[in-house]
Structure 1
Amino acid sequence: MSVRIAPPLPLIFLLMIHKAYSEKEDVRYGSSHICALKNSSVIIGCTFTYPTDRRIEKVFWTKTDVKNADDEYPDLSEDPEYSQRLQYLGDKEQNCTIRLSHVTQKDSHKYYFRFTTDKQNVKWIGKPGLTLTVTDDTDLQVESPERVTEGDSVRLTCKSSCTLTDRATFIWYRNSQPLTERRDTNNQLLLQSVRREDAGRYSCALHGHTYISPAVYLDVTYVSVSISPSGEIVEGDSVTLNCDSNPPAEISWFKGGTFVGSGRIYNISKISSDHSGEYKCKSINEHGEKYSDAVTLNIMYAPRNISVSIIQMLEGDSVTLICSSDSNPPALNFSWFKEDESSAVGSGQSFSALQSGRFYCEAHNQHGSQRSDAVTVTVKGNHNSNWDIPFRYASLTLRLPHWPKAVGLTSTSPQ
């Protein structure tokens, strides 16, 4: 007696599904309707099934569901109008995808996939078919926000009533000048960190096409401050701050958080170090209010408020002097003078005076110099002789030895 072992249940289930699916002829299209632009390439997706006990003999596409005199549907690959433009991308198993290149309005039609098998009565045409519509490119248009703020990112999209099914080259224009060219299926132009120079009229086109879409204006709103003169500002100069805004607005000026003026232009004549700080303007219009980024006024000036301080003074030692100043940029060069002497006696911010006298310092930067008042320094001791080191006295105690008394000696008087 023979024993038959049944396959596992999941396998039985899969076999049943495959048998049921494969015993039915069927054609499925990726879409029932495709719209393509003139001169573009179209990929028409397609799959098919057939009984597993049959062998596929022929696969082809046709654009009619009416048989010819030979009781068969015309094969597009044999049609001179299509033979050079039609490429079969599929196989004889289940993929029936094709590519149709350089389409024109004459290609607008309904198309069907057809297959035959080695069994005479097992043939199939995929009805109701797929409709291809080819249009001119005059329906291209740019989609863009009406207004964007400087510093933001924005995407512009070149749209058509037809979805392109193949890679296409998009050409973008700003103010009728070619801007960029992209070779991918992304029909978007990304502007990152938009600048005011990006404002303008944008349009798009397809490479190889003469038609350019209607232009759409992209408006960039901004508020910014500029300084004139733009270089180094020295105390005493006249400075102008200009608040530029789009759209035009009512302008207020602030130093830090304090209101200092109004109007598009803020003038400072004979600027001083007190004007140093951060300035910004605020614009107010129908779209709301917006502050500009802050700009810093850094006022340069020559040394001033020069002073000398004594930080060390020991009796008989040298005296150390320190020169202090207020300047921008900070003073890096210092000279020391003794009153009634024309030549400098030292340099550097600190100075060791070895002699008594009146001394002053002079601080320098690239914008000028200034000297301090003289200070009187007294150095004790004569540093001009070999005896210039002062004496220091210490007490001295002499201890006499203790003499012991003589043992067994007596004192006698002279006779």
Structure 2
Amino acid sequence: MSTRSKSWYKIKRSGKEEAEEPMKPAGRVEYEDNMNNHHFLKINRLKKADSAEYQFRLQENEEGRKPGVTLVVTGLKVKFTPSAVVTEDQRVTLTCSTSCPLTNNTNYIWFFNSRPLTLTENQNKHLVLDPVSSQHAGNYSCAVKTQNSNRSNEKTLTVHSKTGKWITAAAAGLCSFLLVIVALTVFLWFR
């Protein structure tokens, strides 16, 4: 009767180079086996450096590699719709996004200028500012509500004053009106 060794391996590829590292069950890494011959690798507190291919090997006589599973760890990002620069009274939707699929009942935490926002309802991946005002201008970040919430990088929302836009538009209109009057006066003068 031969002894079978069970191991998980982390495979990192860079171009044609490949590095293989055995995963030892310690610290953030746990192995779990069940009676149905299922073998699980659990990595707690994922980091971007954990992105790699993971292969399970049951070795009796080194029977060759089996396909592994690829893990891509990405961070959260804040996205603004329609954009990060808006005018007062517009509607702005902030979305906390990740390339990893999350369940619909995931709770999120939103931060404004590094302070958690206190919202009356359960927070989801969207934060709607409708209508947006100059008080909403600032830095936003988000996190998924877990034991070890990792926050996204801050993104800045810029809100232009509606009055400032009207003053600029009124000044441009007045200039156009004066140019028409001057042109009309010159035309009549030469006639």
TM range (shorter): 0.3 to 0.5
Question: Structure with the greater relative contact order (CA < 8 A, sep ≥ 6): 1 or 2?
Answer: 2
Q: Give 1 or 2 for the bigger CA radius of gyration.
A: 1
Higher helix share: 2
TM-score with structure 1 setting the length? 0.26
TM-score with structure 2 setting the length? 0.47
